[in-house]
Structure formats: structure tokens, C-alpha cells
Amino acid sequence: MVGPDERVRMAYVARRHYVDNATQSELAEEIGVSRFKIARMLDQARELNIIRFDISAGDLIDPDLSVQLRTKFDLQRAIVVTAPGDTNDIVREYVGKAAAHLLSEIVEEGDVIGFTSGRTVHAVAGFLEVLPRCDVVALGGVAGQATEHGVEILRRVQRIAGGKMWPIFAPLVVRDSATARALLHDPVIHEAASQFRRVTKGVVAVGSWAPPNSQLYDAARELGLASDLLAQGVVGEVAATLLAEDGRIITTLDDRTIAVRAHQLRSIPEVIGVGGGSSKAGAMRAAITAGLVTSVVTDTTLARQLLK
């Protein structure tokens, strides 16, 4: 049995070694014992839980789920956060903050970053504090409220990044293909869309259609298109690319949307899909399976759904 005096000595040695960075040789000389005795004291301190290591990737990041998710789906990166609640607003806040921190970590000077519209992407932009100088490109037209559509998101990011901005001043989805063709021939919109091939990192919202949690779904419903698309098996979307549960791309809406296409998304070196909550599980799985996202920032609820 180890008495209190020996525990005090072990705790002192452990603190000096692990906190103050004193070497075992220095400690041996300091307290008058051999270096081997110091090593034994440190080993015993671990066995007696006098030393307890708290290894954390951050207060809100779940490293185990992050690694499991990345491994299962062969992702470039996966960041899984623990949100202190399950409401949409709370989940968006914490996923958005984590994605903003990730961008600050991985973006390099000269990168070209593409952004879709979306409430979670809007949260990402809101939490960004620093970026190297880079250009920013809208990956689609306008959807949702003014503060959450692609133009406003780009403005926020461009103020931080300091590079050029390429917005798309057009709706994400229009009523007919003739309108879409006319918009895509507009010189300003055409020039913005021509920047898709320059994008090196994309940040995309993953919208759910079943159950509905998507600005594109809302726009399609207003145009009277949503019911037919749901009947065709749409479960979600990335930008304006519609996805079936198995990752199959449904092209029905393509000729009425102003957005990056699936083949263009797949040519981007890294596309980060952001979104959380169990309602987006089917959409996120489809987006990963389709190869439209290569990295994911999400919450523990959605991560566990994907890992089932």
C-alpha cells in the first residue's frame, strides 16, 4: 500500500516532469534518488491514477467519431462536433464554427474557394475570422433569405480573404429551361460560372428533401416542382444537383438551375459538405456516395446515423 507521503512525492515528480518539463535526470538530482527510481515513480503514479491524461482534440470535437467517419467513407477529412442541443439553429452554429476553423487551417494563399447558398454555409461565413488572400466564387445562384444566399455569403468571406469575388446574380432555380439558358448567356453570369473550373476548395450545404430541410426544396415547392421530384426518389441535393438515396444523380431539374454541375464538383480537389442533425442523414450519405463531397463537417447525431 502506498501511503500519503509517497503519493505526495509521486504527484510532485509527475507535475515537475509533465507540467514543468523537468527531465528524469534533473528530478533525480533534485530529490536525491536515482533516475530509475524517478521512472518507477512515474509508472506507479499512472497505475494509481495520480496521473490522469486528458487527451482532447478540442472541447467540442469528437475525435473517435471523426476518425470512424473518415475511415468508413474514405473521406479526406471528417470533423464531428458535439452540439449542446439538437435544434437546427444550435446544430448550424456549432457545425458552422467548426467548418470555419477548418477553413482557416487548410486554406492557402492563392486558393479559390467556392460556396453554395445555405443556412449552415452562412454560419460558416459568419464565424470566419482570418483567411489567406484568395478569391471566392459562388457555386450557384440565389436561394433563401437575403442574409443566407450566396451573394451575401461571398461578400462576408471576401472581406476577410481580400481577393476577388465572383457572385451569381440569378435565382438558383427558375421556372423553365428557356429562362435558365437566357440567364447563363448573360455576360456577367457566364463569367462567374466560368470560374467553377478554378475552384480548389468548395464549401457546400447538403440539403435534405426527405424530410424537407433545404432551400432548394423550398424554391422548387414554390414553383410547383417538388412533388414530382420527390416521386422520382430525390432525397437531397448539393448545390442544385439532386440525389437519390443510392447516390444516383437525378437530372430532371438541371436545365432549370443556375449552379455548378456534378462533374464540375467532382473535379474540385476538396469539397467540404456541411450539415448536421438526423434529418440530413440520407442526403449526406447520398452526397458522399455520389462523390460530390470529399470532406464532412457534421455533428455527433448525424455522424452516428451515417455509421450505422
Q: 73-107 pLDDT, tens per residue?
A: 999 999 999 998 888 999 999 999 999 999 999 99
Q: 195-227 pLDDT, tens per residue?
A: 999 999 999 999 999 899 898 999 899 989 999
Give domain 4-47's CATH number out of 1.10.10.10, 3.90.1280.10, 3.40.50.300, 3.30.200.100.
1.10.10.10
The answer to whether residues 165 and 136 touch, using CB atoms and an 8 Å cutoff, is: yes
Is pLDDT above 70 for 57? Answer: no
Give the pairing of strands 270-274 and 201-209. Answer: parallel
Q: 249-307 pLDDT, tens per residue?
A: 999 999 999 999 999 999 999 999 999 999 999 999 999 999 999 999 999 999 999 99
Helix (H) or strand (E) holding 122: helix 119-127
Classify residue 260 by its DSSP letter: -
Q: Give the three-state DSSP class for 208.
A: strand
63-307 under CATH 3.40.50.1360, yes or no? yes
- Evaluate the omega torsion of the peptide bond into residue 4 and state whether it is cis, within 30 degrees of 0: no
Q: How many angstroms separate the first and last alpha carbons of the chain? A: 46
Name the more confident of 198 and 50.
198
C-alpha cell at 286: 447520398
Classify residue 173 by its DSSP letter: B
C-alpha cell at 258: 443556375
Measure Cα distances from 190 to 49, 114, 168 in Å.
Answer: 65, 16, 9
Domains of the chain, by residue range, sit at 4-47, 63-307
**pTM (predicted TM-score):** 0.84
